[in-house]
Amino acid sequence: MAAITMQSEHIFLRISPCRIWYLKFILEGYDGVAVLSTIDSLTGLVLLRFPPDQRKTLLTLLAHLAPHVRKGV
């Protein structure tokens, strides 16, 4: 039996702590684009894991969402 391995990439972001829920909600709507894990809820440090073929979609989405989740908002 062959083992199936999934390749993934990751990005760390620091966003406004009060907007973590918002980014998580948006990413869940884009099923399969990325999974958000909170690293530090006080400082807004999050980890996004995503399949390599979703990189362009994720980066485009993050560029559009940046004004709504950036630190200091």
**24-72 pLDDT per residue, tens:** 999 999 998 999 999 999 999 999 999 999 999 999 999 999 999 987 6
Asked if the structure places residue 53 within a domain, the reply is: yes
CATH of the domain at 27: 3.30.1370
Query: How many domains would you assign to the chain?
Result: 1
The per-residue pLDDT for 6 is 72
Asked if the structure places residue 43 within a domain, the reply is: yes
Decide if pLDDT at 5 tops 80.
Answer: no
Asked if the structure places residue 61 within a domain, the reply is: yes
The per-residue pLDDT for 71 is 75
- Asked if 48 and 11 count as a contact pair (C-beta separation under 8 A), the reply is yes
Asked if the structure places residue 45 within a domain, the reply is: yes
**Nearest CA-CA partner of 32 in 12, 58, 10:** 58
Full-model pTM: 0.86
Asked if the structure places residue 4 within a domain, the reply is: no
Residue 30 backbone dihedrals phi, psi, to 5 degrees: -100, 70
Residue 49, domain extent? 9-69
